[in-house]
Structure 1
Amino acid sequence: MSGARRTYAGATALVTGATRGIGAAFVAELFEQGAKAVYAGARNPADVPAELLEAGARPVRLDITDLGQVAAAAAECPDVSVLVNNAGYHANQRLVLNDDPAAARAEMDVNYFGTLNMTRAFAPVLGANGGGQIINVLSVAAIFPTAFMGGYSPAKAATLYLSTITRAELEPQGTDVTALIVGSVDTQMAAHVDGEKEDPRDIARAGLKAALRGEHVADTDWMAVDSRARLARDPARYERGLAKVLNATQLRTGR
């Protein structure tokens, strides 16, 4: 891998959307793996959990759609060598048959443009600190148009492309980029979803391991692996299955 990182011991990281779920799990896991410092990005720093503060997390006010706050975070955190773009938004709305035309724009603003804002602001920071890593937390919805996830799926797909383009642009400065394809996880975003869900900590652990291996795109859990396999075997059948889920009374799968 270009950044030559083999461990997170002594690293300084920033995690966006760090108040709960996968974001909070990344903060905890980075400390578990020896990170020297972890900045916990949050729209309201007071929402950063006490257990993360006790572990040493440093709250940073950060709405990734606010260019002023993003620039301030880059100035406040000049020692970052690992950027985890985790903050996301799922409006839980349909894309076309939708009474709220602003929902899809909000999903794109957070999931795609917000991640782009962070990447642009922190690219020179990472470069100054030896290259480092960017980890983008995506979804199964990024690898196939997921009908029941409205504007969220197109936004995550755009961010998958962003990950590849970022890798190419930042390769000369030694910045590694890993996109994580995440399945169903036990988070607030998926509270309305039935079925088995992964522990956020397991997702964080798998994601960090994939980034250390230098993987470009990594499936973090069984659902991600199984979805990719079913898509490869029979794309048309997979699409029909997702359409059935869209029109079911209760969703039984999703991030």
Structure 2
Amino acid sequence: MKIRDSIAFVTGANRGLGLSIAGELLARGAKQVYAGVRSTSSWEADIPGIVPIQLDVTDPVSIAAAAAQCPDVNLLVNNAGIARVTESTLDPAWIATAREIFETNFYGVVLTTQAFAPVLAANGGGAILNVLSDASWFARPLLSAYSATKSAAWSFTNAARIELREKNIQVLGLHVGFMDTDMTAGYDLKKTSPREVASQALSALENEQQEVLADENTRFIKQSLSGNQPYYLNVPALA
């Protein structure tokens, strides 16, 4: 898909990767970018070409209203996501935590895709970019609930790609590890710049790729899946 003159809707666009993607879209010539945010009154990024739209991806009514308000979209970016840490996989709060994360990271992706895919199809086709994770393939115990949501979102992405291809809609899965955003603030980790990830993702979109692995560790984990010793079976003690 060509970014120039496209009209995009980016969920979770108020900061971090979502805002970086919105900015990169404009830099590549997008005609307009709708920024899906929980509250338009809290929108602070006064950037020409970006229009804030109220959106709660856990609320089907809110999603339907956003899709109706933006009938010219031909690119959907499912970026909205949350993460929570649990004490372990045996944490009594694990189920409740997982349910909370699933509402945004998985059901939110499904609901926005179901709402916007008909819009894209009516506009002659387009693309959907789903922000996934290296956690789709490697579940750290403290982030196991988060990983479960990303694995589910990866599965849905793969199924949607097969079905929506017939409607001239490209589906791209973006897998990335830790990024330098508010979500990872305070953690001493190797992090990738969200601007760099945004650039990689949109280049992959324009090159009609179906998947992009945005950092070295993500590429290593994915490559290991086809070997006899996949990474998730041979994790270093402090990974």
TM-score under structure 1 length normalisation:
0.87
Matched, 1:61 2:57: no
Q: Take 1:200 and 1:10, find their aligned partners in 2: how far apart are those partners?
A: 23
Alpha-carbon spacing, 1:76–1:241, altered in 2? closer, same or farther (3 Å): same
Give the length in aligned residue pairs: 238
Check if 1:76 corresponds to 2:69: yes
Matched, 1:212 2:206: yes
User: Counterpart amino acid of 1:39?
Assistant: Y
1:191 to 1:11, Cα distance in 2 relative to 1, 3 A: same
2:167 aligned with 1:173: yes
Q: 1:151 to 1:124 in 2, by over 3 A?
A: same
CA deviations over 1:126-179 (Å, ceiling 9, x no partner): 001111000000000012333331211111011111111111121211000000
Amino acid corresponding to residue 56 of structure 1 in structure 2: G
Q: Which amino acid aligns with 1:195?
A: L
Q: Identity rate of aligned residues, in percent?
A: 38
In the other structure, the counterpart of 1:92 is 85
Of the three residues 14, 18, 22, the one matched with 1:19 is: 14
Change (3 A) 1:235 1:107: farther
In structure 2, the CA distance between the partners of 1:103 and 1:33, relative to structure 1 (3 Å rule), is same
The unaligned stretches of length 5 or more in structure 1 are 246-252
Three-state SS of the structure 2 residue aligned to 1:13 is strand
Alignment of 1:140 with 2:97, yes or no, is no
Q: Is the 8 A contact 1:85 1:135 kept in 2?
A: yes
Contact 1:40 1:58 in 2 (8 A): yes
Q: Which residue does the alignment assign to 2:40?
A: 45
Matched residue SS, 1:55: coil
Aligned partner of 2:129: which letter? I
Report the CA distance between 1:193 and its aligned residue: 2.5
Q: Say if 1:140 and 1:181, in contact at 8 Å, map to a contact too.
A: yes
Q: Show CA shifts across 1:112-135 (max 9, x none).
A: 100000000001100011110000
The residue that corresponds to 1:156 in the other structure is 150
* Secondary structure at the counterpart of residue 203 of structure 1: helix
| Cα 1:78/1:195, change in 2 over 3 Å | same
SS of the equivalent of 1:208 reads helix
Q: In the TM superposition, what whole-angstrom CA distance separates every residue of 1:74-105 from its partner, at most 9, and x where no partner exists?
A: 00000000000000011122463224241100
Stretch deviating more after TM superposition (90-99 or 129-138) = 90-99
- In structure 2, the residue matched to 1:241 is 235
Q: Secondary structure at the match of 1:40?
A: strand
Paired letter, 2:116: F
TM-score under structure 2 length normalisation: 0.93
Amino acid at match of 2:19: A
* Equivalent residue number for residue 4 of structure 2: 9
Contact 1:95 1:151 in 2 (8 A): no
